[in-house]
Structure 1
Amino acid sequence: MKIVTWNINGIRSFRCGIKKTLDELDADIICVQETKVTRDLLDERIAIVDGYNSYFSFSRGRSGYSGVATYCKDNATPIAAEEGLTGLLTNNAGGIGCYGNHSEFTDEELQLLDNEGRAIITQHRVQCSDKIQTITVINVYCPRADPEKPERRQFKLQFYKLLQTRAEAMLKNGSSVILLGDVNTSHRPIDHCDPNEIDDFEDNPGRKWLNVFLRDDKPSASADFSHGGKFVDTFRYFHPTRTGAFTCWSTLTGARRTNYGTRIDYIFADHQLAKEQFVAADIMPEVEGSDHCPVWGALRCILLPDSKPPPLATCYLPEFAGKQQKLSRFLVKVDQKSCQTESKEALPGSQEEAERRENINVTGTKRIMRTESVKQMSKKAKTATTCSKPQGNLLAFFKPKNEKALGSSQNSLKASPTRDELTPDVVSQLHSATQDKTTKGEHLSTHACNPRSDKGASFGFWKSVLHGPPPTPACKVHGEPCVLRTVKKEGPNMGQQFFVCARPQGHAANPEARCNFFAWVERGK
C-alpha cells in the first residue's frame, strides 16, 4: 500500500492532465490540499478520473480558497468517507463517526472550524499478515497563523486540538490512523532552513502542540516508543538526522533553487501502525508544479477495496451522476432586452472576476438587477472600440485650440517645442493634451523624443516629463542587475518600490544565493 500527500496550490492547474499527474505519483491513495475550488466550480474532468474515486471538501465562505481532496484508486475504494472533523457536515449513511469530546468547543466554533474545507476522512479495509483491520486516513490542510491577525492564531490552535481529538477517538475505537497533509508548522530546527532567525523558535504554540501530539523520533522500526504522544512522524522515523529535507519553498524569492525552505508537509501514523506496517517514507522535491512537493509513505499491508464507493464520492453528485434534473432549473424567465445586452458584454478582465461571476446564481431576478451595469459596460466597450484607431503622431495633438491667442507659437508647435518657446500658455495646453490622450490609452509618438533630433533641449524636456522606470542598479557583491520589488504589506512603506539582488534567497554562506543588497527607489523617480 502506498500513500501520497501534496499541497498542489490550485487543482485547476491540472485540469488537462489530472489523470497523468495522479498516475505519475503512482500511489493507491493520493491526498491533495489547497485545491482552491468550490463545488460550483468543480469540473468533471477533475472530479471524475478514470481508475479513481474522489472525495472533496470545499470552503463554504470563500471562492478559490483552501479545500482538500482525496483520490483513491479503484483497488483502494474506501468503506466509508466523511467531510470535516466535527460531524456537522455528515448527512449520509457512509459516515465514519468517533468524534471525541467536544465540550471545550462552542457550537459556533465547531461550525467555523469545518467551514473552510480543511479535512476529508476515508476509511479503508486492509489485510495485515493474518488479520483484517481498518485504517482511517485523515487528509488535512491546517490553517496558517497570520502574525497580524491574532484571531487566526487562535483558530489554528483550535483546529489542532479538534484534529487531535478526532484522531485519538478513532484510535481508541480500534482503527489504525494515518494523519497527513499540510500541517503548516515545521517541527524541529532541522526542519527549517534558518531557525536561528526566528525568535522563540521552540516556544511557538504549533511546535508545542506537535511535541505533545508526536512520540519521540526513532531510527528503526524495532525501537521502543515510550515517550510523547500517540503518533509518529514517519519521515523522521526512517530519516532521523537528514538535513535539508524541505517540502515548501517561497516562489517569490526563488528559494527552491537554493533549497531554502521548510518541512511542513507530513505523514503521521499511530505508533503501532508505524512500527508494524510502514516500510518506507520520503519526500519528492524533484516533483514540481507547486510551491510544495509531495511526500509518500509505503506500508506492507494490502488494501481490500469495497465493492462500491461510499455516498460522499463525487461520482454520486447530481451534476456528475447523469441523473435527470428538473426542467425548471434550466428554464428561466428573462427579459429579452437583457439577453441582447448580455450578448455584447465584455469578457471579465481577471480570474477573480471570472470566479465571482460564475458564482452568481443565474436567476431572472439576478439578470434584471445586472441589466443596467451590463449596459454601462457595453457602452464603455463600444467607446473603447471607436477610439482605438490611431490618431496620428504626437505633433497633431499639440496644435493650439485658439491660434490667435497663441500667436507665433503656432508655427513652433509644428515641431517639438524648445525650452525658449514654452510660454505658460503653451505648457498648460501641452500638459492638458498629454493627460487627455494618456487617459484615453493613446500611445505617444517617439517623434517628439528622438535623441537624434537637432532639438536636444526638447528631448531633455520630454525626458523629464515622461520619464520611464528608474535605472536598475547592480548589486555590490555579484555586480549583476537587481530586480525591482514593491512593498505589499500594509504600513507606511506600502506601495514603495525597492531593488534587491536578483539571485534566489538562501543562506549567506551559499555563493549562489542573493546578497544583502537593498536600495529604496526615491519617491517620484
Structure 2
Amino acid sequence: MKIVTWNINGIRTFRSGIKTALDSLDADIICVQETKVTRDLLDERTAIVDGYNSYFSFSRGRSGYSGVATFCKDQATPCAAEEGLTGLLTSHDGAVRCYGDQTEFSNEELQLLDNEGRAVITKHRIMCQGESQTITVINVYCPRADPEKPERKQFKLQFYKLLQSRAEKILKSGSHVIILGDVNTSHRTIDHCDPSDTDYFDENPGRKWLNGFLHCDQQNWERNEDDVEEEHEVSLNNSGDGKFMDMFRFFHPTRTNAFTCWSTMTGARQTNYGTRIDYIFADYHLAKKQFVAADIMPEVEGSDHCPVWGQLSCSLVPSAKPPPFCTQYLPEFAGKQQKLSRFLVKMGQKSVQSNNGDSLPGSQEEEERIENLNPSGRGEKRPAESVLSKGKKAKTAKPQGNLLSFFKPKTVNVVSTVESADKQCKDNLNEDEVNSTRNPSVKHMVTDTAVSKEDRIKTVKMESSASQSITHAAESKKGSVFWKSVLKGPPPPPCCKVHGEPCVLRTVKKEGPNVGRQFFVCARPQGHASNPEARCNFFAWVEKGK
C-alpha cells in the first residue's frame, strides 16, 4: 500500500491532465491540499477520474481558497468517508464517526473550524499478516498563522487541538490512523533552512504542539514543568507522550536540507532555501509494524510544495462501492441535475418528469434536494397552441429573427478615400479635355504624353495612399514622443554591489506606511547568507519622481 500527500497550490497544477498526474504519483491513496476550487467551479473532468473515486471538501466562505481532496484508486475504495473534523458537515450513512471530546469548543468555533474546507477523512480495510484491520486516513490542510492577523494564530492552535482529539478518538476505537498533509509548521531546526532567522524558534506554539503530539522517541528538546505549564496555558493539554510518528524522520532521522516548501516569489527552490511542513504521521504501532519506507519528492515541480510518500507492507481490501460522500454521487455528476436545454423545450413538446433526487452526500444544503424536480412542476403536456375565443381571428405572428442577427455588425455607408481620389481624377481629366479644345497646344501635349485615363486614375490612387501612409506614420511618431514624455517608465535598474548584476524591481504589498513603494533588490534567488550563489543583501528604494 502506497500513500502520497501533496499541496498542489491550485487544482490547475495538473496541466497535463489530472489522470496523468495521479498516475505519475503511482499511489493507492493520493491526498492533495489547497485545491482552490469551490463546488460551483468543480468540473466533471476533475471530479470524476477514470480508475479513481474522489472526495472533496470546499471552502464555504471564500472562492479560490483552501480546499482538500482525496483520490483513491478503485482497488483502494474506502468503506467510509466524510468531510471535516467536527461531524457538523455529515448527515449521511457511511461516515467515519468517532468525534472525540468537543466540550471545550463552542458551536460557533466548531462551524468556523470546518468552514474553510480543510479536512477529508476516509476509512479503509486492510489485511496485515492475514488479519483484517482498518486504517483511517485524515487529509488536512492546517491553517497558517498570519502575523498580520493575531486571531488566526489562535484559530490554528484550535484546529491542531481538534485534529488531535479526533485522531486519538478514532485510534481508541480500534482503527489505525494516518494523518497527512500540509501542517504549516516546521518541527525542528533541521526542518528549517534558517532557524536562526526565526525569533524564539523553540517557543513557537505550533512546534510545542508537535512536540506533544509526536511520540517521545522523536522529541528534540527537554521537557520540564515550566514547559508543560506553558503548553497548558495555550490550551494544548499534551502529556508529552504522543501517539504518532513523523514517518520521514522515522526513516531519515538526521537528513539535512530535506524541505517540502519553497517561496516562489524569491525563487528559493533554486537554492533549496525552504522548510519541511508537509508530513505523513502514523500511529506508533502502525509505524513500527507496517511502514517500510517514506520520503519526499523534491524533483516533482508544479507547485511551491513537493509530494511526500509512504509505503506500507499491508494490502488494501476495496469496498464494493464508494461511500455516499463520494463525489460521483453529487447530482451534477450523477446525471440527475437538469441541463439548461431542458428548460428550452419547444411548444408542444412533452416535458419529462424525473424522479425525486436522493439525499445528497456530505454537507450539501437541504434546498439542493429538490434540484432534480420537473421544470414546470407538473407531469402534464404543455399546450401546443393558445386557445382562441370564438369569433376572434388569430393574428399572423411576425417571424422572429435569428439570434445571431443581433450580433452582426451594421453596414455603414462610407465613401472610401480611393473612391474620392477616383472622382477627383475624373474631374481633372474632364478639365483637361475642355482646355484642349480651347488651346490646340494643350491638346497636342496631352496626346503626346500617351497617358490614358485609367493610368491617371491609378497614379492618383497610389499618390493618395502614399500620402495617407506618410501622414499616419507622422502622427504615430508624434503620439509616441508625447506618451514617452508623459510616461517615463520604470527607472533603469542599478547593479548590486556583490555580484555587479542588474537588480530586479519590486513593490511593497504589505499593508503599512511603505505599501505601494518600489525598491530594487538583487535578482538572484533567495538563499542562506553563506551561499555565494544566493541573493546578496543589496536594497535601494526608488526615489519618488524618478
Structure 1 16/323 Cα, relative in aligned 2: closer, same or farther at 3 Å? Answer: farther
Structure 1 323/474 Cα, relative in aligned 2: closer, same or farther at 3 Å? Answer: same
- C-alpha contact 1:217 1:240 (8 A) present in aligned 2: no
Structure 1 449/325 Cα, relative in aligned 2: closer, same or farther at 3 Å? Answer: closer
Q: How far did residue 167 of structure 1 move?
A: 0.1
Structure 1 93/328 Cα, relative in aligned 2: closer, same or farther at 3 Å? Answer: farther
2:495 corresponds to 1:482: no
Task: Show the counterpart of 1:206.
Answer: 206
Alignment of 1:366-445 (within 5 A): 445=476
- C-alpha contact 1:217 1:233 (8 A) present in aligned 2: no
- C-alpha contact 2:268 2:274 (8 A) present in aligned 1: yes
Q: How far did residue 322 of structure 1 move?
A: 1.4
Task: Show the counterpart of 2:323.
Answer: 310
**Aligned counterparts of 2:181 and 2:208: Cα–Cα separation in 1:** 19
Structure 1 67/463 Cα, relative in aligned 2: closer, same or farther at 3 Å? Answer: closer
Q: How far did residue 476 of structure 1 move?
A: 0.8
SS of residue matched to 1:235: helix
Task: Show the counterpart of 2:244.
Answer: 231
- C-alpha contact 1:57 1:117 (8 A) present in aligned 2: yes
Task: Show the counterpart of 1:106.
Answer: 106
- C-alpha contact 1:15 1:46 (8 A) present in aligned 2: no
2:329 corresponds to 1:320: no
**Aligned counterparts of 1:462 and 1:170: Cα–Cα separation in 2:** 68
- Provide, for residues 90-124 of structure 1, a one-character-per-residue CA deviation record: whole Å limited to 9, x for no partner: 01101011000001000000011000000000000
Task: Show the counterpart of 1:511.
Answer: 532
SS of residue matched to 1:519: strand
Task: Show the counterpart of 1:20.
Answer: 20
Q: How far did residue 509 of structure 1 move?
A: 1.2
- C-alpha contact 1:216 1:232 (8 A) present in aligned 2: no
- C-alpha contact 1:15 1:45 (8 A) present in aligned 2: no
Structure 1 331/156 Cα, relative in aligned 2: closer, same or farther at 3 Å? Answer: farther
Identity of aligned residues (%): 79
2:284 corresponds to 1:271: yes
SS of residue matched to 2:165: helix
SS of residue matched to 1:477: coil
Aligned AA (1:478):
H
Q: How far did residue 168 of structure 1 move?
A: 0.2
**Aligned counterparts of 2:153 and 2:2: Cα–Cα separation in 1:** 33
**Aligned counterparts of 2:318 and 2:182: Cα–Cα separation in 1:** 26
Larger Rg: 2
Aligned AA (1:480):
E
**Aligned counterparts of 1:323 and 1:469: Cα–Cα separation in 2:** 56
Q: How far did residue 467 of structure 1 move?
A: 2.0
Q: How far did residue 511 of structure 1 move?
A: 1.5
Q: How far did residue 217 of structure 1 move?
A: 4.4
Aligned AA (2:305):
H
Question: Please, what TM-score do these two structures have when normalized by structure 1?
Answer: 0.73
Task: Show the counterpart of 2:432.
Answer: none
SS of residue matched to 1:117: coil
Task: Show the counterpart of 1:38.
Answer: 38
Question: Please, what TM-score do these two structures have when normalized by structure 2?
Answer: 0.71
Aligned AA (1:170):
I
Aligned AA (1:133):
Q
Alignment of 1:182-197 (within 5 A): 182-197=182-197
Q: How far did residue 468 of structure 1 move?
A: 2.3
- C-alpha contact 1:9 1:290 (8 A) present in aligned 2: yes
Task: Show the counterpart of 2:139.
Answer: 139
Task: Show the counterpart of 2:402.
Answer: none
Aligned AA (2:325):
L
Structure 1 227/165 Cα, relative in aligned 2: closer, same or farther at 3 Å? Answer: closer
Structure 1 330/232 Cα, relative in aligned 2: closer, same or farther at 3 Å? Answer: farther
Match of 2:301 among 288, 309, 334: 288
SS of residue matched to 1:138: strand
SS of residue matched to 1:287: coil
- Provide, for residues 235-279 of structure 1, a one-character-per-residue CA deviation record: whole Å limited to 9, x for no partner: 000000000000000000000000000000000000000000000
Structure 1 273/202 Cα, relative in aligned 2: closer, same or farther at 3 Å? Answer: same
Match of 2:275 among 258, 262, 276: 262
Task: Show the counterpart of 1:374.
Answer: none
**Aligned counterparts of 1:449 and 1:313: Cα–Cα separation in 2:** 59
**Aligned counterparts of 1:493 and 1:325: Cα–Cα separation in 2:** 52
Q: How far did residue 323 of structure 1 move?
A: 2.2
Structure 1 114/326 Cα, relative in aligned 2: closer, same or farther at 3 Å? Answer: same
Structure 1 72/485 Cα, relative in aligned 2: closer, same or farther at 3 Å? Answer: same
SS of residue matched to 2:101: coil
Task: Show the counterpart of 2:130.
Answer: 130
- C-alpha contact 2:211 2:240 (8 A) present in aligned 1: no
- C-alpha contact 1:193 1:260 (8 A) present in aligned 2: yes
Q: Please, what is the CA RMSD of the aligned residues?
A: 2.5
- Give ranges in structure 1 of 5+ residues lacking alignment: 220-225, 333-360, 362-385, 387-442, 451-460
Q: How far did residue 74 of structure 1 move?
A: 0.5
**Aligned counterparts of 2:163 and 2:480: Cα–Cα separation in 1:** 65
Q: How far did residue 329 of structure 1 move?
A: 8.1
2:520 corresponds to 1:499: yes
**Aligned counterparts of 2:216 and 2:257: Cα–Cα separation in 1:** 20
- C-alpha contact 1:68 1:139 (8 A) present in aligned 2: yes
2:483 corresponds to 1:470: no
**Aligned counterparts of 1:89 and 1:329: Cα–Cα separation in 2:** 32
Task: Show the counterpart of 1:119.
Answer: 119
Aligned AA (2:300):
V
Q: How far did residue 331 of structure 1 move?
A: 6.0
Q: How far did residue 12 of structure 1 move?
A: 2.8
- C-alpha contact 2:13 2:303 (8 A) present in aligned 1: no
